[in-house]
Amino acid sequence: MKILTVLGARPQFIKAAVVSREIKKHPDIKEIIIHTGQHYDINMSDIFFEQMQIPKPDYYLGINGKSHGAMTGQMMEKIEEVAIKENPDWILVYGDTNSTLAGALVASKLHIKLAHVEAGLRSFNMKMPEEINRILTDRVSNLLFCPTDTAVENLKKEGFDNFPYAKIVKVGDVMYDAYLYYRQFAKKPENVKVEKDFALCTIHRAENTDNTDRLKNILEALKEIAEDLQVILPLHPRTKKIIESKNINVDNIAIIEPVGYFEMLWLLENCRFVLTDSGGLQKEAFFAKKPCITLREETEWVELVNVGVNKLVGADKEKIVSIAKGIDEYFNDFNSVVSDLYGDGKSGEKIVECLVR
Ligand code: UD1
Ligand code: UDP
């Protein structure tokens, strides 16, 4: 059996690492990897392939830094060429990036079966490019691997039960598999002097970075928090470019280059709490039993909010600061919260078994 994996952005490398490890256990499956090039800096791409020993991509498309239309269209053109040449049994895509959508559209037009890992997630915010990517990818998928009950419910409400070509399978979250396996390799980052107590932060979502008022509010909040507690911010290149171009003052925030996954796992294990607009990091905060202040108005990972370990604060400076300063008051005790929200750590295995079947 031949699987054509399409990936291109940081969270996809981590997810694909889990599934590729499982694929390698099946000598009868050949995985061919297309890296679209959406993320291309060493610390946004190569480092994950090295640390997690993901097989070297068979095809590198080098498409990045473009508008949504140009990026998705150019990716489609190249992915289509490879798909025709390789004629795989499955095209496998992850998450909700432009690389995901490009892979999905090519598969459906060529009548190649499509499997989507992280299907069924919805924020119900149609202004998010990721929401569009998720909805469209799911709609043309044959195998929809859902991480949570909520994801399954979302698909059922959208009528997926009635689509004869689509099969929904709840497998749990591959990010949990990744966390459980790779945490043994957690490594202190070398590019920052870490203080005893610190908060870990990431910001990269378009809704925050492309709106200067929101970005300034968030950074002002971080600066105020940093008066009491070190704030470490591994900075996405998108956000870095905007902070520099707008000349925003970020003096007392410990800004560093994006880190590898092993360094991120160390930061997660050792931080006091997390502030983020990332999807993946919200769950990893939960896995590491750290309160998470989410810099968005809504989340796809609603179960974290429901069990009281994640607070949605948007870009409201006062809210961010007051929750950060009274962190213990606002969150449920992790020991009283169910721990299996994201499966049993065997999602990768289930995905590959399903593809084989
Ligand atoms: C993309 C995904 C988002 C995901 C995020 C993970 C889409 C629509 N969005 O957002 O869902 O959460 O990846 O991190 O696909 N850049 C660099 N170096 C890099 C990577 C990016 O300089 O290695 C720059 C690009 O040139 C561009 C900007 O960052 O100017 C944004 O990159 P892009 O891939 O368009 O979107 P992300 O914000 O990374
Ligand atoms: N991550 C990382 N280094 C960083 C920032 C994030 O390894 O400097 C990891 C993070 O731990 C998580 C994944 O990247 O596993 C999430 O990716 P990102 O936040 O870019 O995307 P999202 O999950 O929001 O789509």
If asked whether residues 160 and 196 sit together in one domain, one would say no
Q: CA torsion angle for 104, 109, 113, 116 (degrees, to 10)?
A: 10
180 in a domain, yes or no? no
Higher-pLDDT residue of 334 and 93 is: 93
If asked whether residues 241 and 154 sit together in one domain, one would say no
Structural domain count, the chain = 2
If asked whether residues 103 and 75 sit together in one domain, one would say yes
pLDDT at 305: 96
pLDDT at 328: 87
Residues 6+ apart with CB under 8 A from 11: 94, 95, 97, 175, 278, 279, 280
pLDDT at 333: 87
Q: How far apart are CA 84 and CA 140, in angstroms?
A: 18
Question: pLDDT tens-digit profile of 158-216?
Answer: 999 999 999 999 999 999 999 999 999 999 999 899 999 999 999 999 999 999 999 99
If asked whether residues 73 and 162 sit together in one domain, one would say yes
pLDDT at 332: 85
If asked whether residues 71 and 166 sit together in one domain, one would say yes
Please give all residues whose beta carbon lies within 6 A of any atom in ligand 1, as ranges. Answer: 9-11, 38-41, 44, 64-65, 96-98, 129-130, 204, 237-238
Note down the domain range covering 66.
2-173+343-356
Banded pLDDT at 338 (limits 50, 70, 90):
confident
If asked whether residues 142 and 203 sit together in one domain, one would say no
Q: What is the mean pLDDT of residues 305-330?
A: 95
If asked whether residues 9 and 145 sit together in one domain, one would say yes
Query: Is 204 marked active-site?
Result: yes
CATH code of the domain containing 24: 3.40.50.2000
Q: Does the CB atom of residue 232 touch ligand 2 within 6 A?
A: no
If asked whether residues 12 and 158 sit together in one domain, one would say yes
Mean pLDDT score of the chain: 97
Which secondary structure element, helix H or strand E, spans residue 4, and what is its range?
A: strand 2-7
Name the pTM for this structure. 0.97
77 in a domain, yes or no? yes
If asked whether residues 149 and 10 sit together in one domain, one would say yes
Q: How far is the CA of 212 from the centre of ligand 2 (A)?
A: 22
Q: What is the mean pLDDT of residues 306-332?
A: 94
